[in-house]
Copies of this chain bind each other. A is one copy, B any other.
């Protein structure tokens, strides 16, 4: 077969992949794909029962008896716990840092800003930003200390890390913050040969989505009608495709592509031709009605 590629891809086979939030939704779907492609996969999440069930699904996807699959319970809301969780999954590898890290942990509780308590605001940042940032912080320190080169770290933001609307005053700031972190690290990581990537999924029909819909005001559900959403499997496939390709900003659907094109900042373009078209769509559809001359 003739394979033509401008870029060297990344192959999960034989790599140690660390997936946080790996017991359900996007994280679990991703973990299973990685297992099916021959990776050693470690997942962490909080709920032991869900982890046990997830490990059964991962085992079912196994392609080689030598693959190391593990699931550990951990809280990732602070630096100490995130470091401990990372060290725990690296024990099987004599403490060596993972080859790839996917921070899929997080949750959202949409509600109106005026109804938010102090705790709601703090939870938004904790479960949207810190739950991923502390793992990135711990992994980076470990990689740099071990002088391990070529590792890849991928955070999971959201379409709401590129734009926002009513209902997400605690969540959108956190998802924007992840983007700020990923873009900073994209430049700092050049010093250590680590790659910083970030995924902006649209709505994912996951257990977390069912939970957030319980508190979501009706008007917000209406606004979100234009976002058709993806299954966790579709989102994971799209995420991994961009990850393998080395995209710094990864999106997996057309609507996010358009927002990504319109908000990419200093991140390199993924595709020079399509993004020019998306830019144009973003330009006309989002802003065409606002003429101030």
Binding site for B on A (CB under 8 A): 6-7, 78-80, 112-114, 116, 118, 121, 125, 129, 133, 137, 140-141, 144, 160-169, 172-181, 183-185, 187-188, 192, 245, 259, 262-266, 268-273, 276, 279, 283, 286-287, 290-293
Contacts and interface: CB of A to CB of B under 8 A. Distances in A.
Contact of A114 (B144, B268, B273, B293): B144
A174 B160 CA distance: 15
Given A165-B187, A180-B160, A180-B164, A265 B266 contact: no
Contact of A188 (B133, B169, B184, B279): B169
Nearest to A161: B180
Given A160-B180, A173-B180, A174-B177, 6 more contacts: A6-B293, A121-B133, A133-B173, A177-B180, A262-B264, A265-B286
B187 A292 contact: no
A287 B248 CA distance: 13
Given A173-B129, A183-B163, A271 B293 contact: yes
Contact of A164 (B129, B184, B291): B184
Given A180-B172, A290-B272, A292-B269, A140 B114 contact: yes
